[in-house]
Chains A and B, each alone.
Chain A
Amino acid sequence: MQTQAEANRDVQLVLRAKGGDADAFGELVRSHQRRAVSLAYRLLGNSSDAADVAQDAFVRAYKSLGQLDDPARFSAWFLRTVSNLALNFRRARALRATTPLEDPAAGDGARQATTGLRLVTDQDPGRSLPQETHNAISVALEKLPDKQRLALILFSVEGLPQKEVADILECSVELVKWNVFQARQKLREMLEGYLESQS
């Protein structure tokens, strides 16, 4: 969650970037790239695609900074761009082929060679899940309606405040809560066999 100092800094950087200061935009990228890649990764299940989408989102944001009336809303505005691009990417990918959700730890040698990105996953050992369970959750999330998946990931996984989630999704806080609840209900039905291990 962004502190007030970080938010104020963002405002200054956005104003400079709107004036054509590429270095200022570079600072914005540095501040927001982890959140962008993480969100795209949650939505796409693939780290290479997540990096691509995040890069696209940043370039688009730079080109359309002029449309951002309130610099204080940069974070929500940008994450909305990331979400939309990720969902579009996902739909296009589904049309091309059925892409099984990959184990990010397996890596992507060819993509690393072309992009120069080193793909590594970190996991808190105290919260490790069996791979089967991890994949089952990923598959279940894929089956949720877009709005519910987004609300759940932004709030429950990324830990964003409900107000910020509402800004990103351009809906009310109450609707965010309802979407989170509906998403959990559906996951509960789809992951019934995995819930006993948590109790």
Chain B
Amino acid sequence: MTERKYNPDDPGFLLSQMLDGELSTPGTAKLGVLLSKSAALEIDRAELSAVRDLLASWGSQQVNIDWDSHLALINASVREENESRPELRQVDALLNQWAGSAPKLDIHASVMARIAPKKTARPIRWAVRLGLPLAAAAAIAITVLPLRHPSTPIEITETPLAVVSFGPTFTASATLSQLTVQFERAESIHADSQSDVGFIVVGSPPTRVVEEAAPL
């Protein structure tokens, strides 16, 4: 059985609507003219009418069940469903309390503070990324140390891991790398002092930052 493409002017479609009393007046007039000219269409009308009557007879066979028992079964299911609802409402109430207790944070200021250093000069950003603490006063020498557990005694090794020199190039006998840092501006630079490894800081406060990559 092939599907017909929708066609509002299909004579059979007009017939079907006429049988249901759903055809407009112009449609009825148009169909009347078609019926008067076509015997085949008249046969179509008779057969569609027969189909409609067959279906009506088929539909007259009603099913009857014990409606009271049917209703009781449904009510029992609904009651069972309803009895679980108070618990769900309690859960909802708890969730609402939990959601309402969230602190209201204004993180705008802290975010702006964190991104602000990125707008400074790149050499300073580079120095900050390394986590260099900057001594404002005279040069401080700090032994470079490997990462230690806080409870483990700090050992001072003869061979530092790295040397950060503020000022003249520093020569160490067995360093793995050497960084020379000279800052343009004689101003304090705040940096995150937490780092996994320590640094040797040698020399006077830097005035110009120069990045030097030393081979390992």
Q: B-contacting residues of A (Cβ < 8 Å)?
A: 20, 22, 25-26, 29-30, 33-34, 37-38, 41-42, 47, 50-51, 54-55, 58-59, 62-63, 104, 115-124, 127-129, 133-134, 137-138, 152-153, 155-158, 162, 174, 177-178, 180-182, 184-189, 191, 194-195, 198-199
Chain B residues within an 8 Å CB radius of A59: 74, 77-78, 81
Chain B residues within an 8 Å CB radius of A117: 65-66, 69-70
A104 to B60, CA, bound (A): 13
Chain A residues within an 8 Å CB radius of B172: none
Decide: A34 and B55 in contact? CB cutoff 8 A. no
B35-72 contact mask (Cβ, 8 Å, vs A): 1 or 0: 00000000000111011111111111111111101110
Q: Which of B13, B50, B66, B77 contacts A178 (CB 8 A)?
A: B13
User: Smallest distance from the beta carbon of A185 to chain B beta carbons, Å?
Assistant: 6
Decide: B65 and A47 in contact? CB cutoff 8 A. yes
User: Smallest distance from the beta carbon of B132 to chain A beta carbons, Å?
Assistant: 61
Chain A residues within an 8 Å CB radius of B81: 59, 62-63
Find the B residue at minimum CB distance from A122: B62
User: Smallest distance from the beta carbon of A61 to chain B beta carbons, Å?
Assistant: 10
Chain B residues within an 8 Å CB radius of A186: 1
Find the A residue at minimum CB distance from B14: A181
A101 to B68, CA, bound (A): 26
Decide: A55 and B82 in contact? CB cutoff 8 A. no
The secondary structure that dominates the B interface is helix
A37 to B70, CA, bound (A): 10
Decide: B70 and A157 in contact? CB cutoff 8 A. no
A180-B16, A184-B48 known; A29 and B74 CB under 8 Å?
Answer: yes
Q: Which of A22, A29, A47, A152 contacts B63 (CB 8 A)?
A: A47
Could you tell me which residues of chain B, from 88 to 113, have a CB within 8 Å of some CB in chain A? Answer: none
The secondary structure that dominates the A interface is helix
Chain B residues within an 8 Å CB radius of A25: 78
Chain B residue total in the interface (Cβ 8 A): 45
Find the A residue at minimum CB distance from B53: A198
User: Smallest distance from the beta carbon of B171 to chain A beta carbons, Å?
Assistant: 78
A128 to B56, CA, bound (A): 10
A184-B52, A188-B48, A199-B46 known; A22 and B58 CB under 8 Å?
Answer: no
Q: Taking the complex as formed, is B190 at the interface, i.e. its CB lies under 8 A from any CB of chain A?
A: no
User: Smallest distance from the beta carbon of A60 to chain B beta carbons, Å?
Assistant: 10
Find the B residue at minimum CB distance from A155: B20
Chain B residues within an 8 Å CB radius of A128: 57, 60
Q: Taking the complex as formed, is B12 at the interface, i.e. its CB lies under 8 A from any CB of chain A?
A: yes
Chain A residues within an 8 Å CB radius of B57: 127-129
Decide: A188 and B47 in contact? CB cutoff 8 A. yes
A196 to B77, CA, bound (A): 49
Chain A residues within an 8 Å CB radius of B73: 55, 115-116
A180 to B12, CA, bound (A): 11
Q: Which of B10, B46, B59, B65 contacts A118 (CB 8 A)?
A: B65
A128 to B54, CA, bound (A): 10
Tell which of B57, B58, B60 has the most Cβ of chain A within 10 Å.
B58
A116 to B79, CA, bound (A): 19
Chain A residues within an 8 Å CB radius of B82: 20, 22
Chain A residues within an 8 Å CB radius of B63: 37-38, 41, 47, 50, 104, 119-121
A123-B60, A134-B58, A156-B59 known; A118 and B66 CB under 8 Å?
Answer: yes
Starting from the known contacts A55-B70, A118-B66, 6 additional A-B residue pairs (CB-CB under 8 Å) come to A22-B75, A51-B70, A123-B60, A123-B62, A129-B54, A158-B59
A178 to B85, CA, bound (A): 44
Decide: B22 and A162 in contact? CB cutoff 8 A. yes
Q: Which of A20, A47, A181, A194 contacts B16 (CB 8 A)?
A: A181
A117 to B58, CA, bound (A): 23
User: Smallest distance from the beta carbon of A20 to chain B beta carbons, Å?
Assistant: 6
User: Smallest distance from the beta carbon of A58 to chain B beta carbons, Å?
Assistant: 5
